Chains A and B, each alone.
Chain A
């Protein structure tokens, strides 16, 4: 039985640092490393595999079977699944040919699969997909190709860095299922993730990283049900499945802020990405919108905001049909919170200028200060440019900017899905609070069903064919 050990590891890169007195991974077990972003998870992965990371300093030993490794382990003993499969695949070579490389140069003789064709059937890709280049495959398919490589590769351990990042629920489940095979093939699996759903589905053991140190480690069942450290408790309580359920909205007089009737839209006329959608969103209500990647969720939001014109059907604001005068009059009352906070601020401006010159000035000057202190932000942040502020802080500033417009209707397009769960929760909580206080309508777009179930009053789903349907939860 092989084992992978870290002894007295001290890692640092830029502002990140991580201290690992001792860690031991065993073959045939799967272990998840969880922690907030910035806790040094990826540093640990790099150190264990020996892959070069620019700017990383490392002291201490990584040992294989009790003796310090005499070379980088990634060549023979450890297979690394990188964070972005799109970047790890050669963009000009068919994926099948790249898969075949593993067979040619790094195949595991114990593996039952002998050809790329056989393994591709196991991961749910057909022969034609193997002839495609990475750009022609979806993110989930690319990730499955990487997993297929890991399945046939000669390695005692597989390290996966955020394998479910940016994937929707369907793809996530598939990936988790496939990961089970590493255990059955007797390899050790080390998964770095911030998603506790993934961790609880996969892990035998869990290691929780706090800021720069190991906060807690132990059996998954124990750590997740009976957390002993603050870092673990925070992670657990911020996981969407543990969010408190939103109180049911009190019945209010029926007054739809936004109403869509038989709306059809498509960038190409023959294939609508939204067909005959009808929906009413009332003030004070949070409506969730669910759908697989690429199903047109964002387009639906844009239609509600009058940023796109429907091919047919009616869009109404406050009960009257849209026209340019109405849009001009009400523009600032229909707002959008973007998926990525970094892109929603001009890169060249100091944040204060954005707030002073490019944000509606509300009558009450104190609102901004109140929101700032409520979200734990200080004024000196405003003297910086967007790239000098962290993603979490920027997301909070983006929320403040949107709320300063006092919107009657707010589209939240996967708010901060690329950030931590804690930031995500904060974002959604603040918006929900605002919505109930000012009885404004909110359209919450997400591919994470749990988030929507916890926070939305009603949840709609868009199918690949562009049909909108109400989901019911009992």
Chain B
């Protein structure tokens, strides 16, 4: 009877792939310091070569540079959204858990209502009205993403708080802070990170979809979905330029999926 599921093999693969993405997003644009928006109309759609490792797009912009900046853009937004959502979700779950009664009920109902909203629709509805830009996208995705974390930390937290081992520690006179630090946080954190990993993947996908649809992301911005939309008509002339952002998206989503599914977790309540 093992309560801590063993870390499965893909765990390491997921970590490596994800780290590669994060490193690329962080250091890529620094190491390959080419302006992603510099147009060179003399070498439009040129194939990969010495000057342009991945070739150029329809405006003669360096695809590798755009890919790297696109990674930074997606990763930045996705990680910001997840961090904010975890923070808001946990704080509200803590409030709901602590206060109980009406406050708890209404918080749960409110988060259920927001959770039942198809998130991308809200973003589509408001992104352009609010003027687009990274901050607006972060804000909108944050608004629709937090209920997941609220629900998770509320239900897992409730199981832990109601468990015998927390009661035993309370009877033993341990303070609330100590119980939280030793018994609640270490159990809840892997769940949050696991969900966080999968939603980073989903947000990268959502950003690409927004870029592809041309909503909320202003054109000079290097973004994978937008790159795909721009280059798809030239797929016969420049397949590599098109394949690069496609592979990048699939890579990231797959890496985070593997990571989240193989994350070892401890069951909150034992039985």
Contacts and interface: CB of A to CB of B under 8 A. Distances in A.
Interface of A: 305, 307, 331-332, 334-336, 338, 340, 342-349, 353, 357-360, 385-387, 398, 401, 405
Nearest to B163: A343
A334 B174 contact: no
Contacts of B270: 342-343, 347
A358 B169 contact: yes
Task: Pick from B1, B166, B168, B271 the residue with the most CB of A within 10 Å.
Answer: B168
B171 interface: yes
B31 interface: no
A409 to B, nearest CB: 11
A344 B172 contact: no
A342 B3 CA distance: 10
13 contacts: A332-B173, A335-B171, A335-B172, A338-B168, A342-B271, A344-B164, A346-B165, A347-B267, A348-B186, A348-B187, A357-B178, A358-B168, A387-B3
Contacts of B171: 305, 331-332, 334-336, 405
B167 interface: yes
Contact of B172 (A348, A353, A360, A385): A360
A345 B174 contact: no
Contacts of A346: 165-166, 169, 182-183, 187
A357 B167 contact: no
A336 B167 contact: yes
Contact of B271 (A334, A343, A401): A343
Task: Pick from A332, A342, A358 the residue with the most CB of B within 10 Å.
Answer: A358
Contacts of B165: 343-347
B247 interface: no
Interface in B120-170: 163-170
A353 B182 contact: yes
A340 B164 contact: yes
Contacts of B166: 346
B179 to A, nearest CB: 8
A359 B269 contact: no
Contacts of A405: 171-173
A336 B2 CA distance: 26
B193 to A, nearest CB: 14
Which 3 residue pairs spanning A and B have beta carbons closest together? A343-B164, A332-B173, A387-B3
Given A346-B182, A348-B266, 11 more contacts: A332-B172, A335-B171, A338-B168, A340-B164, A344-B164, A347-B3, A349-B186, A358-B168, A358-B178, A358-B182, A387-B2
Given A332-B172, A360-B173, A348 B183 contact: yes
Contact of A401 (B3, B168, B267): B168
Interface string B240-271: 00000000000000000000000000110111
A317 to B, nearest CB: 14
B4 interface: yes
Interface residues of B, number: 27
Contacts of B3: 347, 386-387
A344 B169 CA distance: 9
A305 B270 CA distance: 23
A358 B267 contact: no
B147 to A, nearest CB: 26
Nearest to B187: A348
Contacts of A398: 168
B173 A385 contact: no
Interface in B165-221: 165-174, 178-179, 182-183, 186-187
Contacts of A385: 4
Given A342-B270, A347-B187, A348-B186, A357 B168 contact: no
A262 B169 CA distance: 30
A454 to B, nearest CB: 26
B172 A401 contact: yes
Nearest to B160: A346
Contacts of B178: 357-358
B164 A338 contact: yes
A346 B187 CA distance: 9
B247 to A, nearest CB: 38
B182 to A, nearest CB: 6
A345 B165 CA distance: 5
Contacts of B269: 343
A347 B173 contact: no
Task: Pick from B164, B173, B183 the residue with the most CB of A within 10 Å.
Answer: B164
Task: Pick from B165, B267, B269 the residue with the most CB of A within 10 Å.
Answer: B165
A338 B165 CA distance: 9
B168 to A, nearest CB: 5
B182 A387 contact: no
Contacts of A335: 171-172
Contacts of A336: 167-168, 171
A335 B170 CA distance: 10
B187 to A, nearest CB: 6
A340 B169 CA distance: 15
Nearest to B267: A347
Contacts of A332: 171-173
B101 to A, nearest CB: 15
B137 to A, nearest CB: 36
B182 A357 contact: yes
B4 A344 contact: no
Nearest to B270: A343
Nearest to B183: A346
Nearest to B169: A358
Contacts of B1: 387
A335 B168 CA distance: 8
B174 A357 contact: yes
A395 to B, nearest CB: 13
A331 B164 contact: no
Contacts of A348: 4, 183, 186-187, 266
